[in-house]
Amino acid sequence: MWKRLAAICFGLLLILAAGTAPARSGDATFKLTNKANFSILVKVFSQSRNWQWPTTTTHWTLGDDGQHEFHVGCQDGEKICYGGAFAANDKTHWGVGFKGDKPCQGCCLTCGSHVSHAWNLTSAPSNTREASRFLATLSQGLSPYRGITLSTGW
């Protein structure tokens, strides 16, 4: 009796599961160039699910100033973002940071068919106070360098 009931339940589950389509697969390529003075540890994080590349316990290292391409297999429509730091403590970070928990602007791609973008990671990442003061000064039309005023027109 129990075996028959289990078989019926299993059969119903198979029928219901047959109607669900698997997630379509896509890909994205992050092209990163290290323009900072030290090596940068890099990972890629899904913002749509709990997933990261290369794995939860590994990372890539940008140890030179060449452009490095990181290809990831992802789900179509999935938002994925790069994150990097000089060290795992995220004190100085790029994108969503080494742990994937920082906000960012312009560090994400939407997974699709052969999606790619390139970024230069500079010595003054956007999370540092120095970079924030620099950008605030520029937005006011002032130069961070004494005696120089910036003009928006040429």
Residues near 94 by beta carbon (within 8 Å), at least 6 away in sequence: 40, 82, 83, 84, 85, 107, 119, 121, 125, 126, 127
Tell me what pLDDT residue 126 has: 61
CA atoms within 13 A on the CB side of 110: 1
Residue closest to 49 by CA, chosen among 79, 83, 82, 94 = 79
- Residues (pLDDT < 50) of the chain are 2, 5-6, 9-21, 129-139, 141-154
Q: Alpha carbon of 153 to those of 39, 144, 150: distances in Å?
A: 37, 18, 9
Could you report the per-residue pLDDT of 85-114, keeping only the tens digit for each? Answer: 999 888 899 999 999 999 999 999 999 999
Topology given in CATH for the domain delimited by 25-123? Immunoglobulin-like (2.60.40)
Q: What angle do CA 108, 127, 49 make, to 5 degrees?
A: 35
Residue closest to 122 by CA, chosen among 133, 111, 113, 130 = 130
- Domain ranges for the chain: 25-123
CA atoms of 90 and 72, how far apart (whole Å): 23
Ramachandran bin of 100, using left for φ above 0, alpha for ψ from -120 to 50, beta for the remaining angles:
left
pTM higher than 0.75, yes or no? Answer: no
